[in-house]
Amino acid sequence: GQVFRIEDYRPTDYIISHTRLDFILSPHETVVTAELDIQRRASTPAGTPLVLDGDELECVSVEIDGESLPEAAFEATPQKLTLHEPPSKAKFTLRIVTRLDPSSNSTLMGLYLSSGVYCTQCEPEGFRRITYFLDRPDVLSIYTVRVEAPEQTAPVLLANGNMIESGKLDGGKHYAVWHDPFPKPSYLFALVAGDLGMLRDEFVTSSGHKVDLGIYVEHGKESRATYAMDALKRSMKWDEEVYGLEYDLDVFNIVAVSDFNMGAMENKGLNIFNDKYVLADETTATDADFANIEAIIAHEYFHNWTGNRITCRDWFQLCLKEGLTVFRDHEFSADQRSRAVKRIAEVRTLRAHQFPEDQGPLAHPVRPRRYREINNFYTSTVYEKGSEVVRMIRTILGPDKFREGMDLYIQRHDGDAATIEDFIKVFEEVSGTDLSQFSLWYHQAGTPNVAISASYDPAKQTFTLDIEQSVPPTPSETRKRPMHIPLAFGLIGPDGGDIKPSATDGATVANGVIHIKKRKHTVHFHGIASRPVLSINRGFSAPVTIAMEQSAEDLLFLARKDSDLFGRWQALSLLFTEALVQAFRAVRGQKTPVFDEGLIRAAGEIAADTALEPAFRALALTLPSEADIARDIGANIDPAAIHIAREALLKAIAASNAEGFAEIFDAMNLEGPFRPDADSAGQRALRNTLLDYLSVADGNADRAATQYRTASNMTDKSAALAILAHRFAEDQRSADALADFERKFGSDPLVMDKWYQIQATIPGTAAVDRVKALTQHKGFSLSNPNRVRALIGSYSSMNQTGFHQEDGSGYRFFAETILQIDKGNPQLAARLATAMRSWRSLEPVRREAAREALTIIATSKNVSTDLRDIIERTLA
């Protein structure tokens, strides 16, 4: 396939100042008329051919300034429209009519039908599936959109911007005209038409402008949108307070659809959401669902400035809008909830998804330099690592200069299609800091490793750190340059307080941050009266791995005493990880793992420490996942042995702390009305974490079965169901609960996704047959992304023992399923296939089996560009 390279960027020859679209909607035959006001740039020679992008388009007619074009003047293929010799005048209007079949569009890109509702998804290159266009983000145009449809099947007609006209037509039809005054790239175009219910509200901006808010959902589900509406209003307020950014149109609409490739889409004034991230109430959604809704509603709303008002010059700059907007939504959630708990959750996600990506065959820089399929670059590197890079800029500059830089960015680039260089420049200008070395974070792939060894000299009262950074090689990038790594730290004295050194030398140390810039630094801290314990990378100030010999005693001290809550969690999780890796080695060597009593006791203490918020205690008690452990072991992975090792630690903690855990569990009063706020969610999280330990300690399903029966909210119900299904499959109450759940929620697909996921993640070799059987379940469909992710996605990424089977049956089933999905929805297939990216770290038998399965896909006929790109890079 074709490779796109950043160095090939050049501006277009023509611009499209205005775009008028007319849609006559019909399921099988929708007619789209596009009127494009085209201007030749002054620098473009007259007569330069105009080539517009298309994708599977059927061209009906082409006219220029009201005259239809002779055959010889243009060429229309499904993939492009070429005007061989456009008019030589500076401006002309091109009128193109295309015909679409939304009902047969299974890619969920362009215009498609989701449960009878017309909707669109254009980012990154879906607009070209609607009409021929210069479908790239640096072509900004003002859109006016007329939508016509039968009133009965589509009473709701929406597009971007404000509605300026509507009315009835003959034959039961009606129409609406929408106008968006802000020039925008085609990827932000959106249209929705259908029969939908609506939740209405309003928001008055800080300058007194009233905005009508609407959330459109399936009829009857309006009340399930109240939490999303509340999150929207809080987001609008937060962006005003924290960044001084106000909303800019009279309307802000959100539509929830049930067939959607990702979480949501930030179309100007008309966000379209996967209904999973809109609909929630206590009986159908878990606390995690509520938190996701809050974060994604905020994320899409924040894009209005970082993404829409300022967009990207080209898709290589994707992190310009995504990294920054993720950073903004992280900060929003941190302000709305508990900052430390939110940070721990972010770091867990980053380590679970971005680290393996960065350490495997799909590694790429936050700002990639080449791609074959841009859809495969909506990755956790671009999003999550991209956000970490913005966070580091703030750490380096401090909050005030950071805000100044953001203000300058908005002021200078409003209305632009900008680049990462533009972004970095504003921060350099406001702070007078040279960020050229820092910008390697955007250009150099791979997770840096920082090796640290510490020594204390009591005679000189000096504490010394020998620091060495290295960046491992990544595909097509073997030589790496040293990076600027800001490491927040603390030197902790015996009483737990931070010690302030009288002087430091060897690296810039400012505001509790060591700035590592060279390959090697030796940093001395002077005036240190007794040996301190080092708390390093506090708050996860840099997305790196740290290699440091720290005694179990020091780590236990940090877990108990660090003034940085994140540091406490990190120390404990390091201890767990070390214990688990050792246990894994024991299991591999046919020995019984043994665990340190101090660690087991520390778990009990943290559980009981009421000075700590429950959500933190829950996170601290959650052992690293099997995938986390695999990543830490790094090579020769045997998932079965990891599972045994992890279960052994869980049992050891449960057995020693059973009494204490039971007391806490029983004392937690969960009466009163359900509230989805962070505190209440934290209580439930702790209680459900303890429920798992207690079920292990008891060795029976009693507690889980009781909780399943009595739970009045989905968080507690699904937690109990997971314990029953995962630990007590033999117990009749497990099968009964699964059947009961299906009976209760069988007609609610979003809730049934939990049922699929819980069963897809039951560990053990029976998983492959179970998952196969579930693909035949009446509610399941390979064409709905949420169903596929709940069953196939969870199976392949969250069930290590069930997926990575020695005989390769898990991989073969996976490969066949992916090939089938690829026929209808290449994006979804490609995304799923990334579950195989770490295949090279498996032990030899599984590795070979994985290679065979990947080869089945690679050698199949008619594989999409999307899937082929992932598979070829994975195998390379």
CB 205 within 8 A of CB 247: yes
Q: Residue 290 CA to chain centroid, in angstroms?
A: 15
> Site mask, ligand B3K, residues 78-117, x = CB under 6 A?
----------------------------------------
Interface with ligand B3K, residue 123, by CB under 6 A: yes
> What is the spatial distance between Cα 612 and Cα 610, in angstroms, rounded to a whole number?
5
Nearest approach, Cβ of 325 to Zn ion (angstroms)? 5
> What is the spatial distance between Cα 740 and Cα 733, in angstroms, rounded to a whole number?
10
The alpha carbons of the chain give a radius of gyration, in whole angstroms, of 28
Interface with ligand B3K, residue 572, by CB under 6 A: no
Interface with ligand B3K, residue 299, by CB under 6 A: yes
Nearest approach, Cβ of 322 to ligand B3K (angstroms)? 5
> Site mask, ligand B3K, residues 834-863, x = CB under 6 A?
------------------------------
Catalytic: 346? Answer: no
Interface with ligand B3K, residue 375, by CB under 6 A: yes
The nearer residue to Zn ion, 322 or 613, going by C-beta atoms, is: 322
Interface with ligand B3K, residue 125, by CB under 6 A: no
Interface with ligand B3K, residue 378, by CB under 6 A: yes
**For 799, how many CA atoms within 13 A lie in the half-sphere containing its CB?**
29
List, in sequence order, every beta strand (DSSP E) within 41-109. 50-53, 58-64, 67-68, 74-76, 80-83, 91-100
Q: Which stretch binds ligand B3K (CB under 6 A): 207-215, 259-267, 342-350, 472-480?
A: 259-267
Nearest approach, Cβ of 373 to ligand B3K (angstroms)? 10
Which listed option, ligand B3K, Zn ion, none, makes contact with residue 375 (CB within 5 to 8 Å by class)? ligand B3K
> What is the spatial distance between Cα 439 and Cα 424, in angstroms, rounded to a whole number?
8
- Concatenated DSSP letters for 674-728? ---SHHHHHHHHHHHHHHHHHHHHHTSSHHHHHHHHH--SHHHHHHHHHHHHHH-
The nearer residue to ligand B3K, 278 or 644, going by C-beta atoms, is: 278
Interface with ligand B3K, residue 239, by CB under 6 A: no
> Site mask, Zn ion, residues 319-348, x = CB under 5 A?
---x--x-----------------------
Q: Which stretch binds ligand B3K (CB under 6 A): 67-75, 264-272, 614-622, 772-780?
A: 264-272
Nearest approach, Cβ of 272 to ligand B3K (angstroms)? 10
In 3D, which of 847, 739, 759 has the Cα closest to residue 802?
A: 759
73, 110, 124, 596, 729 from 120: Cα distances, Å: 31, 5, 12, 56, 43
The nearer residue to ligand B3K, 299 or 343, going by C-beta atoms, is: 299
Interface with ligand B3K, residue 262, by CB under 6 A: yes
Which listed option, Zn ion, ligand B3K, none, makes contact with residue 123 (CB within 5 to 8 Å by class)? ligand B3K
Burial category of 77 from C-beta neighbours within 10 Å (exposed 0-12, middle 13-18, buried 19 and up): exposed
Q: Which stretch binds ligand B3K (CB under 6 A): 218-226, 299-307, 404-412, 785-793?
A: 299-307
Among 53, 138, 282, 300, binds ligand B3K (CB under 6 A): 300
In 3D, which of 865, 726, 874 has the Cα closest to residue 814?
A: 874
Among 57, 265, 575, 737, binds ligand B3K (CB under 6 A): 265
Q: Which residue carries 């936050």 as its tokens?
A: 366
Nearest approach, Cβ of 307 to ligand B3K (angstroms)? 7
Query: Binders of ligand B3K among 450-469, rule CB under 6 A?
Result: none
Which of 125, 300, 346, 613 is flagged as catalytic?
A: 300
> What is the spatial distance between Cα 253 and Cα 75, in angstroms, rounded to a whole number?
38
Residue 114: DSSP 8-state? E
Q: Examine residue 70 and say whether the peptide bond preceding it is cis (omega within 30 degrees of 0).
A: no
The nearer residue to ligand B3K, 322 or 822, going by C-beta atoms, is: 322
Q: Which residues contact 273 (CB under 8 A, 6 or more apart)?
A: 254, 255, 256, 257, 260, 263, 264, 265, 296, 300
14, β-bridge pairs: 40
Burial category of 271 from C-beta neighbours within 10 Å (exposed 0-12, middle 13-18, buried 19 and up): buried
The nearer residue to ligand B3K, 332 or 566, going by C-beta atoms, is: 332
What per-residue string of b and e applies to 295-332 under the rule 16 or more CB within 10 Å gives b?
A: bbbbbbbbbbbbbbbbbbbbbbbbbbbbbbbbbbbbbb
Q: In this structure, what is the dihedral angle of CA atoms 580, 583, 587, 588, given to the nearest 10 degrees?
A: 80
The nearer residue to ligand B3K, 177 or 265, going by C-beta atoms, is: 265
Query: Binders of ligand B3K among 315-344, rule CB under 6 A?
Result: 322
Nearest approach, Cβ of 324 to ligand B3K (angstroms)? 11
The nearer residue to ligand B3K, 185 or 365, going by C-beta atoms, is: 185
Nearest approach, Cβ of 291 to ligand B3K (angstroms)? 17
Query: Which chain residues interact with Zn ion by CB under 5 A?
Result: 322, 325
Query: Which chain residues interact with ligand B3K by CB under 6 A?
Result: 123-124, 262, 264-266, 299-300, 303, 322, 375, 378
Q: Provide the annotated active-site residues.
A: 300
